[in-house]
């Protein structure tokens, strides 16, 4: 009995020690990325913030590698080149960003090193097509009605794909939670607004910022960036009709003079045409006549 009581007390003491260890509140840094959407060749700045700020921290930077064998831990993380000793600066610049990628950070100080927790994963998005990994959305537009079915199709140099999403709260999930993955296609009737992309063991695809709209009007706009000098046509769709014809279009909340009925044609796109677009059907149901906004992305003719 004495041994049993001693064992129980010993376990109780150990639990107290472990609890006290957790009570020290190991900091969890916050990672921010700027910009979060890129064109090929852009530089991206990662910033790792520790609260409360204090001297002596060194910062370590990690890149996400998809782990296709795991249902819950979607990624392993690899130290960025030259990062084994960390950096004194709380920021890290990535030059020549070309594709979608995910990152984490943590900080450490002292000898032996005492580390913070890891930050949450943050993604840098690219709408540009990666030939080795490509996402196609069907229907081919960024906005969809809440009652619509949606297909997300992965193509490229892999035999195994998964479709991923980051929702408006920053939560990362795979198609298996909100759809059905069949081969390289994710079909869903339960899509929600967020950023979607495909990934394999070695590749991330282009990303699409999809809006699921509960109203009666959506903007019809392209999923992928439009090349400078090319034309693009934006439309306005009513839930009960294929296309609206009595329509106003807005860029960054400013009405666009538009003599055409039912569509907005930009015949030769330039970088100045980038922005947030929405449409308003003048005769659609009162209170539900305006679409959500979607970003029109323009890429240089010679981007690869």
Identify the structural domains of the chain with CATH numbers, from first to last. 30-126 (2.60.40.10), 127-214 (2.60.40.10), 216-304 (2.60.40.10)
Q: What is the pTM of this model?
A: 0.85
Structure tokens at 199: 């990934």
Pick from 38-47, 228-237, 245-254, 283-292: least confident = 283-292
Cα separation, 33 vs 119, whole angstroms: 12
DSSP 30-92: EEEEESSEE-TTEEEEEEEE-SS--TT-EEEEEEEEE-TT-SS--EEEEEPTT-TT-BSSSEE
pLDDT at residue 204, rounded to an integer? 95
The total of other beta-carbon atoms located within 10 Å of residue 253's CB is: 9
Residue 80 has pLDDT above 90, yes or no: yes
- The stretch 272-293 carries a mean pLDDT of 80
CA distances from 257 to 234, 247, 250 (A): 14, 11, 9
Banded model confidence at residue 52, pLDDT cuts 50, 70, 90: confident
The whole-number average pLDDT for the span 4-17 is: 33
Q: Give the whole-angstrom CA distance, residue 200 versus residue 206.
A: 12
* pLDDT tens for each residue of 214-260: 888 899 999 999 999 999 999 998 887 777 778 899 999 999 987 67
Q: Structure tokens of 141? A: 């537009």
Give the least confident one: 4-8, 161-165, 241-245, 279-283.
4-8
Whether residue 103 contacts residue 121, with contact meaning beta carbons closer than 8 Å, is answered with: yes
pLDDT in tens, 145-160: 998 999 999 999 999 9
Output the average pLDDT for the chain. 86
């Amino acid at each position: 009995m004495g041994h049993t009581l001693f064992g129980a007390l010993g376990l109780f003491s150990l639990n107290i020690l472990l609890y006290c260890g957790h009570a020290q509140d190991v900091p969890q840094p916050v990672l921010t990325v700027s910009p979060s959407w890129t064109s090929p060749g852009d530089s991206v700045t990662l910033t790792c913030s520790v609260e409360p700020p204090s001297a002596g921290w060194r910062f370590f930077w990690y890149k996400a590698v998809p782990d296709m064998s795991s249902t819950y831990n979607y990624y392993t993380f690899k130290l960025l080149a030259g990062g084994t000793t960390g950096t004194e600066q709380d920021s890290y610049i990535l030059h020549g960003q070309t594709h979608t990628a995910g990152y984490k950070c943590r900080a450490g100080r002292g000898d032996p090193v005492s580390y913070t927790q890891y930050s949450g994963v943050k993604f840098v998005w690219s709408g540009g097509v990666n030939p080795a990994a490509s996402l196609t959305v069907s229907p081919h537009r960024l906005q969809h009605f809440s009652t619509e079915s949606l297909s997300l199709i992965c193509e490229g140099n892999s035999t195994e794909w998964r479709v991923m999403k980051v929702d408006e709260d920053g939560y990362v999930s795979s198609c298996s939670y909100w759809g059905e993955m069949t081969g390289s296609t994710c079909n869903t009737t339960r899509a929600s607004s967020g950023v979607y992309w495909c990934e394999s063991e070695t590749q991330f695809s282009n990303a699409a910022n999809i809006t699921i709209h509960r109203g009666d009007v959506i903007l019809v706009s392209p999923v992928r960036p439009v090349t400078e000098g090319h034309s693009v046509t934006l439309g306005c769709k009513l839930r009960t009709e294929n296309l609206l014809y009595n329509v106003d279009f807005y860029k960054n909340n400013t009405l666009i003079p538009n003599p055409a009925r039912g569509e907005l044609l930009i015949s030769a796109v330039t970088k100045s045409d980038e922005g947030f677009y929405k449409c308003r059907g003048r005769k659609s149901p009162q209170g539900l006549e305006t679409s959500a906004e979607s970003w029109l992305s323009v890429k240089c003719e010679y981007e690869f």
